[in-house]
Amino acid sequence: MFKNINYLKKGNEKQKRAYEAIEVLGVMEQLSEYDPTLCGTLPIEIDIAGSDLDIIMEVHDLQQFEKAITELYHDKENFQIKRRFMRGIPVVKANFLFAGFEFELFGQPQPVEKQNAYLHMIIEHALIMEFSHVKADVITLKQQGFKTEAAFCKVLGLDLEDPYESLLTYGKKRGFI
């Protein structure tokens, strides 16, 4: 469902605007070799003011990816690019503003379907579909400053020490991933 962004065209107004911004930017086509996938809060309608558009990708040549991202988007407002390690995995992360949205382009040498951002979104979507109260409760907590995964863990009564890992463990136990 989330691999193609066409679902955004039938979504809420912000999703429709996001679709237009992504299309005008051309990121899905320009970076298609990296399997770009929109993740995060906007696809599952739990975004709040200031939520960014997270586009994750499978990248094995981080140097080439960094060069391509810089060439394509260096002229965008507030463009920044960083290379670092997350949970022991090398990543490239670029941020910039375009068409009223903050974009985050994220590449790591792992298939998109195995990246935490994608797995978290699948789990969160399943929970929203299963429990009617979860969506509103999570949005309220996010508006109070909670990060998305921590908000889900609080609503579910899960361990908040490492909400990213807690949510993955819960999703595996429930068979969501």
Per residue of the chain (177 residues), give pLDDT as tens: 788 999 999 999 999 999 999 999 999 999 999 999 999 999 999 999 989 999 999 999 999 999 999 999 999 999 999 999 998 999 999 999 999 999 999 999 999 999 999 999 999 999 999 998 999 999 999 999 999 999 999 999 998 899 999 999 999 999 999
Q: How far is CA 155 from CA 30, 78, 127, 160, in A?
A: 38, 34, 11, 11
β-pairing verdict for 37-39 and 53-58: antiparallel
**Where does CATH 3.30.460.10 sit in the chain?**
5-111
Provide the CATH topology of domain 5-111.
Beta Polymerase; domain 2 (3.30.460)
Structure tokens at 163: 């909400």
